[in-house]
Amino acid sequence: MATQLREIPHFFADGSSSPADRYSDVFDPNNGGVQARVGLGGAAELEKAMGLARQAQPAWAATNPQRRARVMFRFKELIEQNMDSLAELLSSEHGKVIADSKGDIQRGLEVIEFACGIPHALKGEYTVGAGPGIDVYSMRQPLGIVAGITPFNFPAMIPMWMFGIAIAVGNAFILKPSERDPSVPVRLAELMKEAGLPDGILQVVHGDKVMVDAILDHPGIAAVSFVGSSDIAHYVYQRGVAAGKRVQAMGGAKNHGIIMPDADLDQAVDDICGAAFGSAGERCMALPVVVPVGEDTADRLRAKLIPAIEALRVGVSTDKDAHYGPVVTAAHKAKIENYIQMGVDEGAELVVDGRGFSLQGHEDGFFVGPTLFDRVTTAMTTYKEEIFGPVLQIVRAKSFEEAVALPSEHSYGNGVALFTRNGHVAREFTARVQVGMVGINVPIPVPVAYHSFGGWKRSGFGDHNQYGMEGIRFYTRVKTVTQRWPDGGAGDSAFIIPTMG
């Protein structure tokens, strides 16, 4: 008798369910088997969530900020109490190792910690005596109902990046997570409810492009935040803006690590291996391109990279000694391996080949071994496009000028790292490189929660970055008040445009 698959529900405020006409399989990447299915919704499910959000949002917006912050404090405590079970659930659907899943959750939790300070962050500006008896002040008010569309690679962190800020400032939030690993986002919504969040303020709807288009077209949704591939980010931005929404859409990346001749190569190799192969390379802030400056630097770097890569342990997500686990689906595994063959066909030197990797007892898992290319050129498709897997490419630069130009001229502009001991070189590089996030001897320069995350060029569409004060600006709008309390009647001056003279 066949075992009935677990079904992952939408999370509606009223606790109701919504039977689906279409379903998507949720795999266990460690063994290749289907472990659950998720119903794919559309306009009807979205409208149901919208109705519940409309009822709840005005009262939540009117709740004073410190009371909203208390919900965030309680949610933080619940996440910490449930860290192990959340990480296990995340790894079971995504495939990343448990330690990496805990890092995923922790980086999202740091934005929740920032949101706990929302009473301070929402303070406006005040000018006393801008004119005779006239004071001017500003306030930030929530937009109303907003939505987030999140990717498979960080099913805990990126939803918390979005809804933590959006809810703290007074909005209702509708989350559409990836259908590949949707269980953790639902669990986060359950924990927010347990933390005291009123029903209707955070809801989760599942779906594919049908649901995405419904969100982008719905006139009641004031803003949409998106993280995913660049082509879809561009689509989301264009369609959302055309519908009159505020949109931030973060896309893909091809991050470079520049290795200067004076760099500490042993430290750089450790950093590069973690940044390139951690989470099987399924990060928009992974470091898939390394750029040694000068042939001698390139040869020395390569000599150290090969044994370091060959020593990496690929294992199931519960293997505490594994450096990384499987990729998310069989289709994505095939795509990565096709890129590796493309690199060979384009003339790059395949130094370490990760294709055909098989783990005993898990032969049907979605594993790809670590791969290293050398002598990659900017004309190659594998350099131009995001592979999103455990593939590292060496692009040799003759000079510092060429090294600055490579990430600056690439169509993506998410992150870049420079490895050097020279402060002047670092300062010059930081000022000149045309990339949104820069690391100096930091391989994955994801900013802390009280700054903000955002790339340039095809890595980011829209005028606001994720989280931090940029997130607050995205999820609120400014209202400015000019007030006067006159002693007597208005007289004729009421018909004259006021001045501050």
Query: Residues with catalytic annotation?
Result: 284
Asked if residues 362 and 30 have their Cβ atoms less than 8 Å apart, the reply is: yes
Orientation angle between helical segments 265-277 and 295-310, nearest 10 degrees: 60
Tokens of 213: 């288009």
Tell me what percent of the chain is helix, strand and coil, each rounded to the nearest 5: 40, 20, 40
Asked if residues 226 and 149 have their Cβ atoms less than 8 Å apart, the reply is: yes
Q: Tell me the Ramachandran region of residue 55: left when phi exceeds 0, alpha when psi lies from -120 to 50, beta otherwise.
A: alpha
Give the separation between CA 106 and CA 80, rounded to whole angstroms.
Answer: 9
Give the separation between CA 202 and CA 188, rounded to whole angstroms.
Answer: 10
Q: Residue 452 burial (CB < 10 Å; 0-12/13-18/19+)?
A: buried
Amino acid residing at 442:
V
Specify the DSSP class assigned to residue 438: E
- Calculate ∠ Cα 262-267-272, nearest 5°: 100
Residue of 441, 431, 373, 428 whose CA lies nearest to 399: 428
Give the separation between CA 434 and CA 431, rounded to whole angstroms.
Answer: 9
Asked if residues 157 and 466 have their Cβ atoms less than 8 Å apart, the reply is: no
Distance set, CA 436 to CA 341, 374, 427, 475, 501 (Å): 31, 26, 15, 21, 42
For residue 401, report the phi and psi dihedrals to the nearest 5 degrees.
-60, -45
Give the separation between CA 371 and CA 273, rounded to whole angstroms.
Answer: 11
SS3 216: helix
Per-position DSSP letters for 338-386, written without gaps between them: HHHHHHHHHT-EEEE--TT---TT-TTS-----EEEES--TTSHHHHS-
DSSP E strand stretches across 55-98: none
Tokens of 94: 């995504």
